[in-house]
Amino acid sequence: MEQSKIISSAIKIHHLTNLNTYLLNQNREFMYHHEMIAIPAFMPGSDNHDILYFVEKMTHQEQLYSYTNEWGLHYYGYHFMAGMEGYTVIIGPYFDKTPNLYHLTRDYDLSNAQSEDLRVFGEKVYVLPAEQSSSFASVLQQFKAIIEQETAPIILVSEKNKSSASKKLEDFNVDKEAELVKLRYKTEQDFMHAVEQGDKTKALELINSNNVLFYFSERFPNQPLRRLKNLAIVLNTLLRTAAKNSYVPAILIHRISEKFAFEIENANQLKVLYQLEDRMIEEYCSLVSSSSLKKYSTLIQRAIEHLQSSYDKQINKEELADLLSTHPSHLSRKFKEETKMTITSYQQMLRIKKAKHLLKTEELTIEEIAWMIGYDDPSYFARVFKKEIGSTPTQYRDRL
């Protein structure tokens, strides 16, 4: 049996399930590897360890297997023979129920950055009901039948479409195209400047002016969904670059960029992608407005970036100063001079900001939120929160 047909069938499995899909030969070498969701390095199963362990445990030919790792990530695998060669196709991971990310964070003593990566990862992984996962298992078990099925539909093209396409080619004008390219790059510069200023109104206006910025979209005239996805990917890249130009901390750019990259790839409606474009612009502009560090010196930019990624940990000012190659007293003085806050106050501000976000968006207890942002004592957290916000965390949540 041709390996190309086996690989083609693995691609079909991916399109049917929309899960990570892996195809390995009998030597445990990857022949096909479509990984939409990467497992963070701190989790068991990262770097394909789950996949290789799963394959190792498959001992019977022509058999369907399931595997669940210690963090509740599920996989299905099907081992089969094609001629004299053995192959394994695996799909996953997925959850069979919504995971308690707080318990995982606490049980494995994850850092703030790891906890945030876990949250982002958890949002990407599908939670599949038993009926759906069972259906995917049934599809996987028919893998050999899929290999043998050839799909070659007869394509019918209307004469009207043919003549229309020919006319478009005839009417193509190189001079006009050159003018549009110039206009596109001018619009791109104006758009980038608007985002770098956090001006979401201007940025949205430029994007919506006949999409001149993305004129090359017509390269995909017969694939509207793929075309819009490609445009959204380009937009995400431009927005990420604009945020970087405005000295937004790298960890914040990474989080929002990864979130949108996943949403783009999984969008399956044109309407969703159009709405996603506007939301990307609004969120990046808000990020620039709230988190740009361009008004600070390089030293304080680096200090704030460190606090952004480690605000849930105790600060050792001597270690921080050493990390930044400066003296503790000089760092404290410069930080207060530029931010009008002490390092400790700035960290507390970041913690309270995160707490407000969690109170709005997560169904966590006050104790859980306190621990996640770095307070071991929930009562102390509640007192600090009330002093800063004017209400207790419970009162703040009740008002929303």
Give mean pLDDT, residues 59-79: 90
How far, CA to CA in Å, does 138 sit from each of 45, 146, 203?
A: 24, 12, 48
Q: In this predicted model, what pLDDT tens digit does every residue of 303-321 receive, in sequence order?
A: 999 998 888 888 999 999 9
Give the single-character DSSP code of 79.
E
- Long-range own/partner contacts, residues 148-153 (CB < 8 A, 24 or more apart): none
- Summarize the confidence of residues 375-398 as an average pLDDT: 93
User: What is d(CA 322, CA 300) in angstroms, rounded to the nearest whole number?
Assistant: 14
Name the DSSP letter for residue 213: G
Query: Which among 356, 347, 395, 394 is positioned nearest to 374, based on CA atoms?
Result: 347
Task: Give the tens place of pLDDT for each residue, 83-142.
Answer: 888 899 999 999 998 888 888 888 888 887 888 888 888 888 988 888 889 999 999 988
Q: What is the pLDDT of residues 249-307, one digit of tens each?
A: 988 999 899 999 989 988 888 888 888 989 999 999 999 988 889 899 999 999 999 99
pTM of the model: 0.59
> pLDDT digit string (tens) for 168-193?
545 545 555 566 566 666 777 888 88
d(C-alpha 220, C-alpha 225), whole Å? 9
pLDDT tier at 216, thresholds 50, 70, 90: very low
pLDDT digit string, tens, across residues 320-355: 999 999 999 999 999 999 999 999 999 999 999 999
Backbone angles phi, psi at 75, to 5 degrees: -140, 150
Q: What are the beta bridge partners of residue 67? A: 75
pLDDT, position 381: 94
